[in-house]
A and B are shown apart, each in its own frame.
Chain A
Amino acid sequence: MLEPLLEVRGLTKRFGALLATDDIDLDVRAGETHAIIGPNGAGKTTLIGQLAGDLQPDAGRIRFAGEDITPFGVAARSRKGLARSFQITSVFREFTALDNVALAVQAHDGHSFRFWRPARREAALREPARALLAGLGLEARADVVAANLAHGEQRQLEIAMALATRPRLLLLDEPVAGMGAEESQRMIRLLTGLKGRQTIVLVEHDMDAVFTLADRVSVLVYGRIIATGTPEEIRGNAEVRRAYLGEDTRS
């Protein structure tokens, strides 16, 4: 049996008296789309923060492709192939969409201690960036300043940037958050297209997205994972039902 791509053991994080992450074990297999769901306050943001490298856990270990990445910072993890998108859209607002993606390409194209050639004229950066934007249907918006893009386009831009870093695992923090029905559908279609080719860890509230996309689902409640299984298994799980009572009843 192949080692999981992402292996989390005993992850714990405290904020003063609050135990935000309580001894979490989690496995993500290569090629799978793994959703993490849970009621508000369950600690999803803290968990993502520790996976991405924003937060250092108080205890526990994170192994990625067989390597212990727990001591690594955000940038180092990105270079190892762990890409993320943010819950609240975070792009380079003053730069064009093309600039944004080109920067992501640049980050993984050797070092950037180059002081002379204009970066905007480097085909090695611009071509792949354009291709990525085209893959997301944004090629017409390439020269639009990111701040002027529609909300949904900005979310797509984030995905393009994540893909530009040639990731082995995509960590998506609520990718359809704040999107209308049509935009959500487009994003879900996009992510469905990535299934299998990318390993995806998805934190989401939107059950539609979760049940369409996820191969497996882990449920986070009060910092602990109470259940992991296929969407059907989770749907039928009594404990999960109880945790969600009064929350989203669409499932």
Chain B
Amino acid sequence: MEKGNEKYNKVLNLLRKSTPLLNSTGDIENEVLIRIKKINQSGVNLSEVIDFLFGWVYIGWVRRSLIAAAMALVVIFVYQQGVILKRIEVLSRQTIIINNGNAASSSDEIDKFLTQFRNSGHRFPSMNITISESQMKELQESFKEMQIKYKDLENIIEGDPDLKKLIEKKLIENNRTKINL
């Protein structure tokens, strides 16, 4: 047992005395320094991100292709916008606007008018009105009746100069009030 212990101690001493043979101590030093730096640095390395994103700038053909594509995009954009602006300019010179086109009273214009009216603040609830033929006839008749009464009224006013003067005076006063408002 003692012999065994002696042998073990001898081997241990031999190992302790034999130092390792180091050929590249500089590499180990660098590696240690890098590892120490890495421990000190926290988060993502910006230069690595930039290298990852823009690594293509170091590859000649990729760099040239992407620059060419970007320039082509700019040229296409300038050309297209130029053509469109020119066409709009020609259009504004050639097209004639009709003030009282025969289609002006279509339902779309009424819709447009109603939209504008609503947008202008004069709000009213949108609704559909269904009128029967008899109701429409009634409306027509009352309209005609109103026209007849209006004519009668005109005749009465024309026949009475005092009344005419009074109404004219009232109308002028009314207009003034409107202007003041």
Tell me, yes or no, whether A binds B.
no
Which residues of A pack against B, CB within 8 Å? none
Which residues of B pack against A, CB within 8 Å? none
